[in-house]
């Protein structure tokens, strides 16, 4: 089962040529937030713990909604049977942006499905991590909370960037061809 879960992750990373860009911007924002939180005292320990708890609880709700949204996109994609989807299945992806997987250039349909599947897996792993953090937050030192928030910020921004790309691809898939 472990290998089945991670196949979409492996295919996602091996098929993209500029995958690091999707990590760079969220990392810079998260790093800036971490540095600001370290240099500026944001309150006493009770306020920090309360804010952290609210942040984690909100993240759990947001990620659960994003998982539902992403699964709905997958459902629409695999159940739609129209000329646009058929065209995506038959059209090879751009070789300058995407690398072949197992010696075959992916179709645009596979690229879109790969994006969304990657996002669902990352969202589920993140949700499990958030639940774990929520359960152990009382034993974590206050200093570590700033680092955890920064990591959470990085992950949620990464998820949103990949989701934004997937939604844009879905939009273009069903947009009428104006040739």
- Each residue of 14-35: pLDDT tens digit? 888 878 888 999 999 999 988 9
Work out the average pLDDT over 87-110: 83
Region 78-90 average pLDDT: 81
pLDDT at 176: 58
Tell me: pLDDT of 178 over 80. no
Helices (H) and strands (E) counted in the chain, each on its own, are 6, 0
Question: Residue 151, SS3?
Answer: helix
Categorize the per-residue pLDDT at 154 as very low, low, confident or very high, splitting at 50, 70 and 90: very high
pTM of the model: 0.86
Does residue 157 register a pLDDT over 70?
A: yes
Measured CA to CA, the distance from residue 127 to residue 63 in angstroms comes to 6
Confidence of residue 171 (pLDDT cuts 50, 70, 90): confident
Region 43-65: mean pLDDT is: 88
Residue 77 has pLDDT above 70, yes or no: yes
Query: Considering the chain, what is the average pLDDT of its residues?
Result: 86
Mean pLDDT (whole number) for 88-105? 83
Mean predicted confidence (pLDDT) in 78-101? 82
Scanning 41-141, the segments in alpha helix (DSSP H) are 45-79, 83-90, 108-136
Under the phi-then-psi rule, with left for phi > 0, alpha for psi from -120 to 50, and beta for the rest, what region is 165? alpha
Across 153-176, average pLDDT: 84
More confident: 174 or 162:
162
């Amino acid at each position: 089962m472990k290998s089945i879960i991670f196949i979409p992750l492996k295919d996602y990373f091996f098929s993209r040529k500029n995958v690091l860009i999707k990590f760079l911007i969220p990392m810079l924002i998260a790093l800036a937030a971490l540095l600001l939180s370290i240099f500026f005292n944001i309150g006493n320990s009770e306020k920090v713990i309360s804010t952290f708890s609210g942040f984690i609880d909100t993240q759990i709700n947001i990620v659960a909604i994003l998982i539902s949204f992403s699964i709905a996109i997958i459902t629409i994609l695999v159940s739609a049977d129209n000329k646009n989807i058929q065209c995506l299945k038959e059209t090879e992806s751009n070789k300058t942006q995407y690398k072949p997987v197992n010696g075959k250039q992916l179709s645009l349909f596979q690229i879109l499905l790969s994006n969304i599947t990657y996002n669902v897996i990352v969202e589920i792993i993140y949700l499990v991590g958030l639940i774990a953090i929520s359960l152990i937050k009382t034993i974590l030192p206050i200093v570590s909370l700033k680092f955890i928030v920064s990591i959470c910020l990085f992950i949620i921004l990464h998820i949103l960037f990949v989701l934004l790309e997937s939604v844009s691809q879905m939009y273009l898939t069903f947009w009428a061809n104006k040739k």
